[in-house]
Amino acid sequence: MATILWPKILLSLGLGLLCLPRPLRTVRKWVTQTNTLKLGLWFIVIRLVIFFIVFVALDMRLPTDVREYFYPQAGNVLLGMVPNIDFASSYNIGFPYLLALSTMVVNSALSIIVLMILAEWGAFVVFARLFRGHAKETGSSVLAWWFVNPISVIYITLGGQDEAVILLVACLTIWLLYRNQHVLSGSVGILGFVCTKLLSGIILIPWLAFPFTRTWRTWVTIAAGCALISVISLFTSLQIIGAAREIGKISSGNLWTLAAEILGPDYLVTGVWTYAVYPVALIPVLWKCVRSPWSLDSQVMRIWGIAGILFMILSPKTFGMYFLMFLPGAIWLCNTLPRRLSTLYGVVFFPLVVIGQTLWFYAGKENVFNTIPSLSILVISVDILLVAGNITLVIYGLRRTMPAMAS
């Protein structure tokens, strides 16, 4: 069974080339002229074809998370076991049940990847329906980038990452808020949280773009759901929240690891307190955002993107697939950059998000500091570019004046 390393890298670079001005204009024009139903159909067909070629025709090795964690947990649920009691769930208690839905249909680890592809397809269609109706130019531009984005293709189509479900929940809750379905939006948010992981709480942040007088019922629903979860956890043996795989690990591409890569492993900071730096820094950033006189559509995308990008800078654990949770917002920020810089992000930055994590894993994860010098230099160089790119996006995103979308 062949390794999927080189197909990932080559496909990432190839998709990056589609973000050059001429091919991207062609894709954007096609997206603009294609109705949502047909666009969604092309989106999922192309991804299923890539999935079939890689995992069926070429028989490439399945991703580690799917093969060693997700599929066995789905099997445990089908055997009647209870997550976090009979076995440890990777994330919150509902996650193995979600995985089991796919393996009930086809008892194969491949079905889990298909489930994540379907989740992203749902997010894509919901986003298209929403922003094509409210801000057609913005929506079509983001959809064009999303269609050819290597983060989407590599981490979901070839990776089966669960962040696809979080992305779907984020798009659904925002869509429901636009439709004034406040209680339903909050309910979907709570259900999504139970069926994914602690980190999915980040999807609440774009709601701050809406006036509180409009969304207070949504926040009350969230508070009631959190209270219910707390009561169940306190008075029963069920452990609804599982954070075992979310805290205490590090990854590349953030300020914490970059400092240690440059200064040496003795400067690696891994205390739990480091996870508190992000929310503390987020408060003034959000305050600046909500006080800017931007349109609602732009504020939603802006806050969504900035909150996610800031997390990638300040959290000690920032795997590249985390971009999926706020991918539309990140793409929107890239689209507001000056034209040449925007092109550079499409051609170089997004492929580097995938390549950087791939290098980190193949260099030995936390042992990257002890690997051969040439590989360490390559990892450090990629991380410098990623951190600098993320910081640039936040700086541009915090502009007070409304930017023009790149064409």
Give burial (CB, 10 Å; 0-12/13-18/19+) of 400.
Answer: exposed
| Residue 60, beta-bridge partner list | 2
The pLDDT, as a whole number, for residue 292 is 81
* C-alpha count within 13 angstroms, C-beta hemisphere, residue 10: 5
Going by C-alpha positions, the residue among 44, 28, 11 that lies closest to residue 343 is: 28
The pLDDT, as a whole number, for residue 399 is 80
The pLDDT, as a whole number, for residue 293 is 78
Radius of gyration of the chain measured on its C-alpha atoms? 20
User: 61: left (phi > 0), else alpha (psi -120 to 50), else beta?
Assistant: beta
Distances (CA, A) of 281 to 263, 276, 284, 300, 309: 24, 9, 6, 19, 12
**Cα three-residue angle 334-336-338, rounded to 5 degrees:** 90
Prediction pTM value: 0.93
Contact predicate 188/203, CB 8 Å: no
Contact predicate 207/170, CB 8 Å: no
Long-range contacts of 26-29 (CB under 8 A, 24+ apart): 27/144, 27/147, 27/148, 28/140, 28/141, 28/144
Q: Residue type at 94?
A: G
Going by C-alpha positions, the residue among 346, 307, 321 that lies closest to residue 203 is: 307
pLDDT digit string, tens, across residues 211-231: 999 999 999 999 999 999 989
The pLDDT, as a whole number, for residue 372 is 55
Main-chain phi, psi angles of 2, to 5 degrees: -80, 150
Q: Residue type at 218?
A: T
Per-residue pLDDT in tens (0 to 9) along the chain, 407 residues: 556 777 788 889 999 999 999 999 999 999 988 888 999 999 999 999 999 999 999 888 888 889 999 999 999 999 999 988 888 888 999 999 999 999 999 999 999 999 999 999 999 999 998 887 655 667 788 999 999 999 999 999 999 999 999 999 999 999 999 999 999 999 999 999 999 988 888 889 999 999 999 999 999 999 999 999 989 888 887 788 876 555 656 777 888 888 887 777 666 776 777 788 999 999 999 998 888 878 888 899 999 999 999 999 998 888 889 999 999 999 999 998 999 999 999 999 999 999 888 777 776 654 555 555 667 778 888 899 999 999 999 999 988 666 555 54
Give CA–CA dist 191/62, Å, rounded. 28
The single-letter DSSP state of residue 60 is: B
Tokens 């839905």 found at: 101
The pLDDT, as a whole number, for residue 247 is 61
